[in-house]
Each structure stands twice: as C-alpha cells, then as structure tokens.
C-alpha cells in the first residue's frame, strides 16, 4: 500500500495522554503474577547443533550449558564442572557426550559425579531450560510456549541482545505500544491503539499500525499485544498481511536478584507467515532472509533497550515509580 502523502514526524497526534503509566503498570503487574513454571528462554534452537560445540548461558546468576547428542537430543545442566569448576561451555562434545577440557570428565546428560541435569525443552524455534531455584515457582513439565503459525508454514528468525535492566523493564517497553511511531519512525507509521486492555480479564492491546517498507510504501495491519507470562510479550498479527505471524519477546535475567547492575537478555523470535501463494519462495529462501530479519529486530532493540535501561536507571534510584 502506498500512503497518499508523506506525514512529518512532528505532525503526529501525541500519544502521551493515552499511554497512562498506571495502565501500563497494572498490566505489567498482572503479567508478573502469571506462572512461568520456572522456564527460561536461553536461545534459538539452531544455536545448539548436533555435532557442534556446547552452548553456554548464565540465567539468574546460574551457569548453564546445553548440547545435543549425535541424534539431536537436547541436554542441559550446570555449566560448572563438578570436578574443579571448569567452564563447561568451553568444553567439547565427543560422540554426543560433553567432555570437560580440563581433565576429561565425561557427561552424557544424566546425573554423574555430583552433576545433575536440568529439564530442557526445544519448541522448534527456541530452547528453554527449567531452573527451579531461580524461578521459585511451582514447576511445570513444559514451558508456556505461545501459539504460533503451523509448523513448517512460516519463516522464523531469532535475535538476541543484552541490556542493563531487569526483565520487567523489557516487558514494560513492549506493553507501551504508543511509543512505536514516535520512537521508531523508520519502522512504524499511522499507529493507533484501537483498544487498550479493558480490565483484569482482558490484558490485550489491539493496535492498528503500518510497517514502513520504504518511503511511502507501507503494510497496514492490526496486531494484538499480550503478556502471557512474567517475562514474555507476544505480538500477533490478527488482520492484514501476514495474519497469524507472531513476534515473541522473551526477557531472561542473566544476573541474580541481588546484583546491583542487573543484566537481561532479550531473546526475540519472529515467526512470519502468509497465505500468499508466493510465500513458499520465502520459506525456501529462509537462510538468506534470517540475517535481514535479525538486522531489522536489532535496529528496533537498539532503541528499545535504551528505553528499558533508562527505565531501570530511574526506577533503581527512586526517580521513577514504575
């Protein structure tokens, strides 16, 4: 779609009256109270490859290591070798077994020598690990994976960035859709919140927005933002081009609760789908499209992490009540 005229950034309708801090805080509070089952997103499924090196991540101050068996089975556990503390993320996988590079202690993914595995789940796009001591909730057998387009029908890409803030600051950013065309005019125009949440039983933001392709060429859609858990916000396109496509934003704490400078990983999964006949070509070209999708997400998160970090800095010094 081509816009009839070019509209200046400063001529937009101000949105600060609608973006009420109390409304955003209430939705954030309800999201924070929803159970997660102690599951944390640690990265993209394709980051942990059979025959590849171990994948390491620190979650809530706990070192975690993941790897795959030769058959592709996912394994996870403490990232500290129980022998003398070597970082297992720097070790090697030999015939599907993790072998410590300090003294050769071999771990096949089962309990061994004081090393106990963590529950892990691969949903086909993202890898989750369950850390009960970090989460502190009632554990669940499976993570709360959002509904996505049918497997094999979309193109997915995963972007990861790290900021100095807490998960709630990342979630609060996503629960403020009003900032879109003001803060990201290079990506969004004509943004209107058609319906904000309407009470404790309805936490969905319904948004009409046009994604900017180039110049005056835009793609108008209706999207819905929801927060199904304390560290996740999902944007789902409900009308227009790419209906059923989703953008999942997962905020994973890297540091412990008492750390004076908390760090949070943003792991964002984009799963794009379309009923256009030519979309099969996009699926075939997925390996070439993924870097472009990650660059697009990276440009947005360059700004949105600044938003989240600013929110944390003000909140941690008592200058902002959020």
Contacts of 148 by beta carbon, 8 Å cutoff, 6+ apart: 125, 154, 246, 271
pLDDT(3) > 60 = no
Residue predicted with more confidence, 237 or 198:
237
Q: Is residue 6 part of a domain?
A: no
Q: How many of the other CB atoms lie within 10 Å of CB of 79? A: 22
**Contact indicator for 130, 120 with CB cutoff of 8 Å:** yes
DSSP 266-288: EEEEEEE---STTHHHHHHTHHH
pLDDT score recorded for residue 168: 97
- Is 216 in the same domain as 255? yes
Tell me how far apart the alpha carbons of residues 34 and 144 are, in angstroms, rounded to a whole number: 11
- Is 80 in the same domain as 175? no
Query: pLDDT tens, 156-190?
Result: 999 999 999 999 999 999 999 999 999 999 999 99
- Is 106 in the same domain as 155? no
Of the residues 135, 158, 175, the one at which a domain ends: 135
Query: pLDDT tens, 55-87?
Result: 999 999 999 999 999 999 999 999 999 999 999
- Is 114 in the same domain as 157? no
Q: Which helix (H) or strand (E) holds 297?
A: helix 286-316
Range of the domain at 72: 39-135
- Is 74 in the same domain as 205? no
Q: Is residue 2 part of a domain?
A: no
Place 6 in a pLDDT band, splitting at 50, 70 and 90.
low
Place 200 in a pLDDT band, splitting at 50, 70 and 90.
confident
pLDDT score recorded for residue 191: 93
**Contact indicator for 28, 168 with CB cutoff of 8 Å:** yes
pLDDT score recorded for residue 66: 98
Positive or negative torsion for Cα 121, 123, 128, 131: negative
Tell me the pTM: 0.94
Quickly tell me which residue has 């202690």 as its tokens.
105
- Is 197 in the same domain as 282? yes
- Is 78 in the same domain as 221? no
- Is 65 in the same domain as 184? no
Q: Is residue 226 part of a domain?
A: yes
- Is 157 in the same domain as 83? no
**Domain CATH for 188:** 3.30.530.20
pLDDT(10) > 70 = yes
The mean predicted confidence, pLDDT, of the chain is 93
- Is 87 in the same domain as 223? no
pLDDT(139) > 60 = yes
Q: Is residue 145 part of a domain?
A: no
Instruction: Please tell me what DSSP assigns to residue 5.
Output: S
Query: pLDDT tens, 256-283?
Result: 998 999 999 999 999 999 988 878 888 8
**Domain CATH for 71:** 2.102.10.10
- Is 243 in the same domain as 123? no
Q: Is residue 183 part of a domain?
A: yes
Of the residues 77, 110, 135, the one at which a domain ends: 135
- Is 130 in the same domain as 162? no
Q: Is residue 143 part of a domain?
A: no
Q: Is residue 279 part of a domain?
A: yes
Of the residues 135, 164, 179, the one at which a domain ends: 135
Q: Is residue 217 part of a domain?
A: yes
Q: How many domains does the chain have?
A: 2
pLDDT score recorded for residue 5: 58
pLDDT above 70: percentage of residues in the chain = 97
């Amino acid at each position: 779609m081509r816009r009839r005229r070019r509209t200046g950034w400063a001529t937009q309708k101000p949105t600060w009256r609608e973006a009420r801090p109390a409304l955003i805080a209430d939705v954030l509070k309800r999201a924070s109270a929803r159970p997660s089952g102690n599951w944390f997103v640690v990265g993209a499924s394709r980051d942990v490859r059979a025959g590849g090196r171990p994948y390491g991540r620190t979650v809530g101050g706990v070192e975690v290591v993941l790897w795959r068996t030769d058959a592709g089975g996912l394994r996870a556990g403490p990232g500290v070798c129980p022998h003398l503390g070597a970082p297992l993320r720097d070790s090697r996988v030999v015939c599907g077994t993790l072998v410590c590079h300090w003294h050769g202690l071999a771990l096949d993914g089962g309990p061994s020598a004081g090393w106990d595995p963590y529950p892990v789940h691969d949903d086909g796009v993202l890898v989750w690990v369950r850390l009960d001591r970090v989460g502190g909730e009632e554990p669940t057998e499976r993570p709360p994976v959002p509904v996505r387009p049918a497997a094999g029908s979309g193109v997915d890409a995963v972007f990861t960035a790290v900021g100095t803030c807490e998960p709630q600051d990342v979630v609060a950013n996503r629960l403020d859709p009003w900032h879109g065309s003001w803060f990201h005019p290079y990506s969004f125009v004509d943004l209107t919140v058609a319906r904000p949440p309407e009470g404790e039983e309805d936490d969905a933001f319904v948004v009409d927005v046009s994604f900017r392709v180039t110049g005056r060429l835009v793609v108008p859609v209706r999207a819905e933002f929801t927060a199904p858990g304390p560290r996740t916000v999902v944007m789902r396109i409900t009308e227009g081009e790419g209906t059923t496509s989703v953008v999942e934003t997962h905020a994973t704490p890297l540091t412990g609760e008492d750390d004076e400078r908390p760090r949070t990983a943003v792991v964002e999964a984009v799963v794009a789908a379309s009923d256009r006949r030519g979309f099969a070509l996009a699926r075939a070209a997925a390996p070439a499209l993924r870097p472009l999708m990650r660059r697009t997400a990276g440009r947005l998160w360059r700004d949105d992490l600044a938003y989240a970090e600013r929110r944390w800095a003000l909140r941690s010094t008592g200058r902002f009540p959020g």
